[in-house]
Chain A
Amino acid sequence: MTPAVKSYRPEGTDRLLAAVSPAKIFSGGGIIAAVLMTVFVIAACKPSYASWEAGLPGVIFRLPAGAWASGMGGAVSAEPEYMLSWYNPAQLPFLRDRRASAGAGIRPLGRPEAWASYDFRVPPRVGMGLSFVYRGDPFLNGLYDGYYTGSEVSEEHKLKAAAWTALSLKVGAGYLVSRRWSAGGSIAVEYQSLPTAPAPDGSILATTITSIGALDIAAAYKVTPGLTLSASVKNLLARNDWTIRSYGDYSPAIEEVVPPVFTLSSTHKAKLLDKELVWGADAEVYLIDGNGEYLGNPQVLIAAGAKWMFTDDIVLRAGLADIGLSGDIVWDRSGYWGAFSPRLTAGFSYSLSKWMKGAFVNYALMTDRVWAGVDQQFDITVSF
């Protein structure tokens, strides 16, 4: 009888491996990785342009909201803790308590933001939620109006201060299909006010648009208690119909399709040093441009992040966001690397249970990609 042969490993390695468990950590991510590789191969087939998604309609709402999310690079779509109607309405029916959040942040170059949310479950199989986000740039100072003719300034005068304001309200609902499957959707009302028309006295008249009916549809699947996968498409049927306000008779109409964003995401729970570690990965896939036409090849933005229960009262977060994948890696390396500017994120949460059970204060710090400063966000979240 051949004795069983046991692989030799130094003592202690087992404990270390058990603690970190790369197999556990990466098993769920492997599915996502396979999907992403497929997308990437497709993306590599034809030349594209770096930052293809730059300047597409609706960009103002594509940044993560909430310090708890931004600290993880925004890679929370599979299993968000708060703002479920914003990130993934399919997770609403899995709630075991009511959750609320409110916070604010500031980005470099004068871009403040604020958000609030409330999510709750309607037993036995339904969940509902409401999310509100404000973004914009109220510090449009130092604008000038005028023009050059050739090399000469033909006209130049300073304009008064103005502001760009964008508001989004999402109402979401989800349904528990089975113990592992859920589906959900949300509908958004969005408003924008953009200064477009300098008046003779230096003030700037604004153009406002309101769009109702942008749909998010999501599905979530709990593979195991520690692994959740999700797929969603956001901004379906979303349109911005601008009638640009100007002085005089010229008022052009601009009709644009907000490109739907396909998001594949995963969340995996593991242990690090015997403490809970949750890591997530999101992939935003862009296929359609602002005219509603196929791009020719997709672009993918990757975000990955993790949160670690450092203590019972402190959670640490870190992440990487806005990693773009496109055919430029192969076809136009200089263009790709010229635009390559991922975002590094970090944050923490601190429990306020001494004063209010289930409450946390959250803070996140992010690089802004152009080194103008750092993004900072702060919010309070409550589960009750």
Chain B
Amino acid sequence: MLRIDGWMFLSPGIAGGRGRTFLRIGLLRNTPSLTIVLTAVILLMPSYAGAQFSDTRQLTSNNIIALAGSGDTLWLATGRGLNYRTSLHAQEGWPGFEDSDFGNRFLGLAFGGGSAAALVYRAGFANTTGFWHFNHADGNKHEEFFRFSNDVLCLDCADGINEPAPADPTGHLVYARGSFWASFNRGGIVRYNPEGGNNKLSALRPGDSAGVRPQDIEPIDADDSAKIVTALGVTADGNRLLIVTPSTFWTYDPESKIWAEIDTIPPDPVYNAIDSTVKSGGFRPMFAGAGDVATPEINDKLFMPRGESGAGTLVFATTTGLYVCEPANPAAGDYGKFTLIKYIREVKANEAYALPGIIRGGADGRYGKAVFVYKLKKDGKVTINIYDYRMSLVKTVVKGGRRSSKPERSNDPARDFWDGTSRSGRTVSPGVYYFKITSSGGERLFGKVILAK
């Protein structure tokens, strides 16, 4: 059996260079020469493992679903993949990989022990769930999938028809005692131990003294509300799991294998303060130096303390990007200014488009004017003209404006825009309009914008 594990890992902060490929190959032990040959061949080939990796320098999407991390390492799950930074404040860019379907398969994200894990559905395999594990130390990515027995999956087999239902992993994944733990309702808790060799996966139910393979676990009786696992957490010291069931709470120490029922989950003062502040409208994010935005929807929050002072980094995962701030005292609810980190598409030098491409009305006026997005090859003065279908000049929106080629986009959003009016101020007729951008450096770009107001 030939197995190839590999992870294309492109991060100057970690690799110390532009990129390296780390591979590990396991082969039949009685074919040493084949091992050498294949090793040499494979080392020269691009590596991949499981999901396709791509070199990204920025967030894979602005829809940030989940956060995990500690210290200076932050992992994000977005609607289109995973991103991370191992030096949150000093690193440039966001390494990661894209997966266009990731948002539909993602279940949970956790970080601990110098590695991260994501709980995901397996693409193309119904009712199969598993872990993606990322080890920063050796740069390896490992996948481990499993499928519960039909007794666990099947909600009602009395009529003899086995109708598997999703395992409903409840979306909780935590790290404790060197392992990642995920909750699975009637399937109990599944443990992923990165150091477990050939037995990385095990499953156990509240009260069990030992774990079994997930496919062998007996389903928790649907009436046993004290055992069905609906949520997972971890104690403040990170050593014990907190298990939530419909009728009680448990703690579990993976080292001593002791289960204990408790009356309540101890509150976390920092997260309580965060939730309270957000609920009372205290989260009013400001772009760094650019004014107010409407409050986005928060998908996840993470506070990463630094030292003993109580200060740290507060991160909000939202539907419109990542918000980061450095509160001195998060428990006091005073967060100050948030920095917004967003996915911004790289614009090629021969490309020009309008944002939005369709100028239209609406109560908030967001789409009421189109900003022209372009990238110059060299610095120069630009002129932007708008023409109708007959190529009659509707308006000159910029004449001789100085623009730079250095930023990722050369346009000045405050000036390079059109609101659908002619030079006389009249709103022109709905239709397709054509814009032309010329620069003193001889560059010429054309684009289209639709006026629908």
A interface residues with partner B (beta carbon < 8 Å): 49-60, 62-63, 109, 111, 135, 137, 140, 142-156, 159, 164, 194-198, 204, 207, 240, 242, 244, 246, 248, 250, 252, 254, 256, 289-290, 322, 335, 338-339, 341, 368-372
- Chain-A contact segment, one of B9-17, B249-257, B426-434: B426-434
A-B contact count (CB 8 A): 192
Please name all residues of chain B whose beta carbon is closer than 8 Å to the beta carbon of A49 when the two chains form the complex. 422-424
* Interface-centre pick from A55, A145, A197 (highest chain B CB count, 10 A): A55
Alpha-carbon separation in the docked complex, A339 to B396 (Å): 9
Stretch at the interface among B158-166, B328-336, B445-453: B445-453
A158: shortest Cβ distance to chain B, in Å?
8
CB-CB nearest in chain A for B412: A151
Query: What residues of B have a CB within 8 angstroms of the CB of A371 in the complex?
Result: 444
B358 CB contact (under 8 Å) in A54, A148, A198? A198
Q: Which B residues form the contact surface with A (CB < 8 A)?
A: 62, 287, 290-291, 293, 320, 340, 342-345, 351, 353-358, 360-363, 366-367, 371, 373, 385, 387-394, 396, 413-414, 422-424, 426, 428-434, 436, 444, 446-448, 450, 452-453
Among B351, B367, B389, B434, chain A packs the most CB atoms within 10 A around the CB of B389
11 contacts between A and B (CB under 8 A): A55-B392, A58-B429, A111-B389, A137-B389, A147-B371, A149-B290, A154-B366, A155-B320, A207-B430, A372-B434, A372-B436
Min C-beta distance of B115 to chain A, whole Å:
32
Chain A residues positioned under 8 Å from B373 (CB to CB): 144
Shortest distance from the beta carbon of B408 to any chain A beta carbon, whole Å: 10
Among B355, B392, B428, B448, the one with the most A-chain Cβ atoms within 10 Å of its Cβ is B392
Contacts of B356 in A (CB 8 A): 144-147, 198
Q: Which residues in A have their C-beta under 8 angstroms from that of B345?
A: 156
- Smallest CB-CB separation from A60: which chain B residue? B389
Interfacial chain B residues near A240, Cβ < 8 Å: 429-430
Contact A59:B448 (CB < 8 A) given known A144-B353, A156-B345, A156-B355: no
Which chain A positions have C-beta within 8 A of B340? 152
A sample of 8 more A-B contacts (CB under 8 A), given A142-B357, A370-B391, is A55-B433, A62-B390, A109-B434, A154-B293, A164-B432, A244-B430, A246-B362, A372-B446
Question: Which residues of B sit under 8 angstroms from A164, Cβ to Cβ?
Answer: 431-432, 450
Q: Which residues of A contact B389 (CB under 8 A)?
A: 59-60, 63, 111, 135, 137
Which of B340, B351, B422, B433 has the most CB atoms of chain A within a 10 A radius of its CB? B422
CB pair B430 A242 closer than 8 Å: yes
A357 to chain B, nearest CB (A): 37
Closest to A368 in B: B391
Taken together as a complex, chains A and B put the C-alpha atoms of A225 and B79 apart, in Å, by 75
Contact A250 B391 (CB under 8 A): no
CA distance A246 to B453 in the complex (A): 10
Contacts of B371 in A (CB 8 A): 147-148
Known contacts being A60-B389, A341-B391, is A144 close to B291, with CB within 8 Å? Answer: no
Cα of A51 to Cα of B396 in the assembled complex, Å: 11
Contact B424 A137 (CB under 8 A): no
Q: A164-B431, A322-B392 are in contact. Are A155 and B453 (CB under 8 A)?
A: no
Instruction: Select B355's contact among A59, A153, A335, beta carbons within 8 Å.
Output: A153
Given contacts A150-B287, A156-B345, contact A51 B450 (CB under 8 A): no
